[in-house]
Structure 1
Amino acid sequence: MEQTNPSNNTPDSLLPEALAIVEPLIAWLIRSGVGYNEFATALKPVFLAQAQQELLKRNQKPTDSALSLLSGLHRKDVRASREAASRTMAQVQANGSAWGKPSMANQVATRWLSLESATDALPISGDSNSFEALARSVSKDVHPRTVLQELVRLGLAQEDNGYVHLLRDAFVPDASHKEAKELFAGSAADHLQAGVHNLCAPSADDNTPTPRKFLEQSVFAAGLSPESVQQLNLLANTLWAHVLEQVVQAATPLCEKDANYPEPQRFRLGVFSFAAPEFKKTSDNAQP
């Protein structure tokens, strides 16, 4: 006789949606040698910390009983994980802010791509239209030669006969670099934050001002051939190049104007594309 978990079958259960979201994450963990027990142990302080924050939002006292009930953790785990929860969330939030901010090399490459007169090659030195001038327009605190060495290390540029060549095809990060994992984590986390905010924001009937909604949209097409997918992927990359140019041109003077703002915020605009075979239901997996 098959046993089911009643909590999975409630109308408001988010487990089906959550499982769809974490499936690629689980695949990444397994490919990286992280198993269930290690991941489950690491999740305990995260669940506890989020439960603490939720109780504070509700103006409720974060007692062991309340935290156990809300997080689903045993009371002994709540007592054992309180200190770890604070450390974990502090580290998670610090990582999120750090990983959300591109490195100096990435900022220079992005500025390069956004230039109206952008070319794939710049002389290393010069007064205006040079790599040194470009690097100094982003920051005067890091020497242009240091930035160039980092771009070359990341595979984003090549140096040849006094010129720097931007490798546009290399802007999907090399998975062998630690920076690629951090950039992906920061981008994916912010994407989820936007969606969760939009789903959990109070309604206009709560006697509160209409909450701000973040942009979180996508376009979906099905029944395509691989050739059609490739055509759409090329279009997506072309459109993103235009978006990148306009957003960076708008963001650059705003960043300069707000350089000393006492309570700064971060902003991210992301675009992704993905293609995979369609899942076709059969009599064995059809839902009743």
Structure 2
Amino acid sequence: MPGDVPRSPEAAKLHAPLARLLRPLVRLLIRSGITLPMLTELLRELYVNVAEYDFALSGKEQTDSRVSLLTGIHRKEVRRLRGAGAPVNAVPATVSQTSRILARWLADPEFSDADGRPLPLPRIAEPLQPSFERLVVSVTRDVRPRAVLDEWLDRHLVIIDDQDRAVLVQAAYVPRSGEDQQLYYLGRNLHDHIAAAVTNVEAPSPQFLERAVHYDGLTKELAEHLQQRSREVAMQALQKLNREAHAGSDGVLPGRWRWNFGVYVYSEEVVPPATAGRPGDHNDEEPRT
């Protein structure tokens, strides 16, 4: 069409996977009231930010002209946007605090059993005995254990049993819909998954494990069964690696590296089905959502 910008072969090959990747995000954006002009402004900031820092030439100052050449954004706009860009590493204090306390409760042998199940913890116990107070203090002294317990009770992360012990609710492993913690991990986990996949595409050989088991043409019953089994197997893997990471890092001076191990499970009804495929047949039809 007249006015279309010519695309390189590499850009053309990315069009279909990029459209599929962005579709659920666009659905979330529309539902959340983020319009195309708002997203465009954010993308402008990110394009300039990434070009400015990730594509700088060694020993040379990154100029407005080069950023403009890399991004296709006018120099005047580049000058306005340089130094901007949405923060991608900021961790809300409540998210960081909650996740660290939960990780220790699930990993530290003092607060969990041999299978990684969190022990019921007395609110306060004798010195050197496991308790909720001791758990919180082992992670942070910036907030009172009672304040943490009251907040977690209000959020239904824990309950108090008939022996006056704090019991971690299994649903606490998954943040509630729309809360700050869930939105933080939306950005963090999707970033790391995409970053791993992009690194593998760019590198001569894959550097990160990024695999999936996928079957099409399943019955609803089998899909639901596999989803439940996936949850069970995934939680076992997550708890085991959490314990290993905790044991290896507890009491060690902090370094500059971070690590993230994630698991995702997804199933949906494909409407209308392209063909009555056999289990295992690949289906590239875009599902209606």
Distance of 2:75 and 2:26 partners within structure 1: 27
3-state DSSP of counterpart to 1:276: coil
Q: Which residue of 1 aligns with 2:87?
A: 92
Q: Which residue of 2 aligns with 1:103?
A: 96
Distance of 1:281 and 1:3 partners within structure 2: 34
Does the 8 A contact of 1:99 with 1:185 survive in 2?
no
Q: Which residue of 2 aligns with 1:174?
A: 176
**1:265 aligned onto 2:257:** yes
User: Compared with structure 1, are the counterparts of its residues 52 and 228 closer, same or farther at alpha carbon in structure 2 (3 Å cutoff)?
Assistant: same
Q: Which residue of 1 aligns with 2:155?
A: 154
* Aligned pairs (5 A) from 1:224-263: 224-259=218-253, 261=254, 263=255
Does the 8 A contact of 1:136 with 1:144 survive in 2?
yes
Task: Output the amino acid matched with 2:122.
Answer: P
Is the helix fraction higher in 1 or 2? 1
User: Compared with structure 1, are the counterparts of its residues 244 and 286 closer, same or farther at alpha carbon in structure 2 (3 Å cutoff)?
Assistant: closer
Q: Which residue of 2 aligns with 1:221?
A: 215
Q: Which residue of 2 aligns with 1:209?
A: none
Q: Which residue of 2 aligns with 1:10?
A: 9
Residues 73-82 or 225-234, more deviating: 73-82
Task: Output the amino acid matched with 1:256.
Answer: D
3-state DSSP of counterpart to 1:189: helix
User: Compared with structure 1, are the counterparts of its residues 234 and 277 closer, same or farther at alpha carbon in structure 2 (3 Å cutoff)?
Assistant: same
Task: Output the amino acid matched with 2:96.
Answer: S
Distance of 1:193 and 1:55 partners within structure 2: 16
What count of residue pairs does the alignment treat as equivalent?
267
Structure 1, unpaired ranges of 5+: 205-211
3-state DSSP of counterpart to 2:160: strand
3-state DSSP of counterpart to 2:174: coil
Residue 272 of structure 1: CA displacement?
1.1
Distance of 1:193 and 1:58 partners within structure 2: 23
Distance of 1:217 and 1:111 partners within structure 2: 28
Residue 47 of structure 1: CA displacement?
0.5
Does the 8 A contact of 2:113 with 2:119 survive in 1?
no
Aligned alpha-carbon RMSD (Å): 3.1
Does the 8 A contact of 1:105 with 1:151 survive in 2?
no
Does the 8 A contact of 2:157 with 2:169 survive in 1?
yes
Residue 58 of structure 1: CA displacement?
6.8
Task: Output the amino acid matched with 2:103.
Answer: T
Residue 159 of structure 1: CA displacement?
2.7
> Normalising by the residue count of structure 2, what TM-score does the alignment of the two structures yield?
0.79
Q: Which residue of 2 aligns with 1:208?
A: none
Flag as ranges the 4+ runs of structure 1 deviating above 6 A.
none
Residues 163-172 or 51-60, more deviating: 51-60
Residue 191 of structure 1: CA displacement?
1.4
User: Compared with structure 1, are the counterparts of its residues 109 and 277 closer, same or farther at alpha carbon in structure 2 (3 Å cutoff)?
Assistant: same
Task: Output the amino acid matched with 2:159.
Answer: Q
Distance of 1:41 and 1:155 partners within structure 2: 38
Task: Output the amino acid matched with 1:169.
Answer: A
Structure 2, unpaired ranges of 5+: 276-283
3-state DSSP of counterpart to 1:94: coil
Does the 8 A contact of 1:99 with 1:186 survive in 2?
no
Residue 270 of structure 1: CA displacement?
0.8
Residues 173-182 or 27-36, more deviating: 173-182
Task: Output the amino acid matched with 1:158.
Answer: I
**Cα displacement string for residues 69-93 of structure 1 (whole angstroms, at most 9, x for unaligned residues):** 21121233223322xxx132xx524
**Cα displacement string for residues 123-143 of structure 1 (whole angstroms, at most 9, x for unaligned residues):** 322243432333344345543
User: Compared with structure 1, are the counterparts of its residues 101 and 251 closer, same or farther at alpha carbon in structure 2 (3 Å cutoff)?
Assistant: farther
Does the 8 A contact of 1:121 with 1:165 survive in 2?
yes
Residue 250 of structure 1: CA displacement?
1.1
Distance of 1:286 and 1:134 partners within structure 2: 50
Distance of 1:286 and 1:180 partners within structure 2: 30
**1:112 aligned onto 2:111:** no
Task: Output the amino acid matched with 1:92.
Answer: P
User: Compared with structure 1, are the counterparts of its residues 3 and 94 closer, same or farther at alpha carbon in structure 2 (3 Å cutoff)?
Assistant: same
